[in-house]
Amino acid sequence: MTLPLIAITMGDATGVGPEIIMKSLAHAELYERCRPLVIGDAKRLERAGRIVGSDLVVRSLFAVEDAKFEPGTVDCIDLGLIPDDLPFGKLSPVAGDAAYQYLRVATELAVAGKVAAICTAPLNKEALQAGGHHYPGHTEMLAALTGTEEVSMMLTAPNLRVIHVTTHIGLMDAIRKIEPGLVERTIARGHEVLVKAGLSRRKIGVCAINPHAGENGLFGQGEEAEKIVPAIEACRAKGWDVEGPLPADTLFFRAGRGDFDMVVAMYHDQGHGPVKVLGLESGVNITVGLPVIRTSVDHGTAFDIAGKGIADERSLLEALRQAIALAPADA
* CATH 3.40.718.10 boundaries in the chain: 1-148+290-331, 151-289
Give yes or no for a cis peptide into 180 (omega within 30° of 0): no
pLDDT, residue 311, reads: 95
Give the architecture-level CATH label for domain 1-148+290-331. 3-Layer(aba) Sandwich (3.40)
pLDDT, residue 280, reads: 58
pLDDT, residue 198, reads: 83
pLDDT, residue 215, reads: 82
Q: To which H or E segment does residue 244 belong?
A: strand 241-246
Residues 226, 52: Cα–Cα separation, whole Å = 53
pLDDT, residue 279, reads: 66
pLDDT, residue 218, reads: 79
151-289 maps to which CATH number?
Answer: 3.40.718.10
Low-confidence stretches of the chain (pLDDT < 50) are 331
pLDDT, residue 216, reads: 79
Amino acid at 67: A
pLDDT, residue 284, reads: 86
Q: Do 188 and 262 meet the contact criterion of CB atoms below 8 Å apart?
A: no
Residues 260, 254: Cα–Cα separation, whole Å = 7
Buried b (16+ CB within 10 A) or exposed e, 35-72: bbbbbbbbbbbbbbbebbebebebbbbeebeebeeeee
Q: How many CB atoms lie within 10 A of CB 327?
A: 19
* First-to-last C-alpha distance (Å) of the chain: 9
Residues 249, 302: Cα–Cα separation, whole Å = 29
Q: To which H or E segment does residue 100 belong?
A: helix 93-111
- Sign of the Cα torsion 129, 88, 61, 312 reads negative
pLDDT, residue 97, reads: 98
Cα–Cα nearest to 50, from 81, 88, 100, 12: 88
pLDDT, residue 329, reads: 56
Residues 318, 331: Cα–Cα separation, whole Å = 20
Helix 93-111 vs helix 138-146: angle between axes, to the nearest 10 degrees?
Answer: 40
